[in-house]
Amino acid sequence: MKPWITISRKTILDHSKWLKVEDHSIQLPNGTTIDNWCWIISPDYVNVVVQDEDENFVCFRQTKYAANGISLAPVGGYLEPDEDPLTCAKRELREELGYQASEWVSLGRFPCDGNHGNGFANLFLARGAHQVGEIIVDDLEEQEIIKLSRSELMQSLLDGEFKVLSWSTAVALALFHA
């Protein structure tokens, strides 16, 4: 199989550091050219499933603008410019929970939209996590920290309580490694 080829690109919206939209002309492997292919640029981010020293999973109960109602959520945040995903994951764990972890497992790096970009999700499992300091509060949403056993985490996943795709993916992958 051959990859798609980008022939040209033009920025049509440069809204902020959170969103840029480009208009691409692309060529398919069969030679067909498609103009006006929308390409979305948003920051890459991390999601971290946290397992503490007692093998409980530490996550949040919170609301998000795009997720209807209350959701369970892992630790997460956007990469700073030129920041390594693991460095970001460690920073977010420290900021959001005041934790550090003794073991890190990469669960993968995934494009958010296979045809239109929209950044990459970098997923991790942090094992042996423990409190080392205070939480650095800078999130927009209210959050409640909760601890779940492995069976409670699995049931919450199956019940659809992780309402964002990357959160559900991270939890499902972490359950294979925990």
Token pair 């764990």 is found at 93
Position 68 confidence tier, pLDDT thresholds 50, 70, 90: confident
Architecture of the 45-177 domain: Alpha-Beta Complex (3.90)
- Residue type for position 100: Q
Position 140 confidence tier, pLDDT thresholds 50, 70, 90: low
Position 85 confidence tier, pLDDT thresholds 50, 70, 90: very high
Per-domain residue ranges for the chain? 5-41, 45-177
Q: Residue 85, Cβ neighbours under 10 Å: how many?
A: 18
Burial call 88-113: b when 16+ CB within 10 Å, e when fewer: bbbbbbbbbbebebeeebebeebebe
Of 77, 74, 71, which Cα lies nearest the Cα of 51? 74
Q: What is the pLDDT of residue 47?
A: 98
Average pLDDT over all residues of the chain: 95
* Alpha-carbon dihedral angle through residues 110, 71, 15, 86, given to the nearest 10 degrees: -40
pLDDT cut 90: percent of the chain above it: 89
Say if residue 119's pLDDT is above 70: yes
Q: What is the pLDDT of residue 139?
A: 65
Say if residue 65's pLDDT is above 90: no
Task: Please give the structure tokens belonging to residue 71.
Answer: 């959701």
3-state secondary structure 64-126: CCCCCCEEEECEEEECCCCCCHHHHHHHHHHHHHCEECCEEEEEEEEEEECCCEEEEEEEEEE
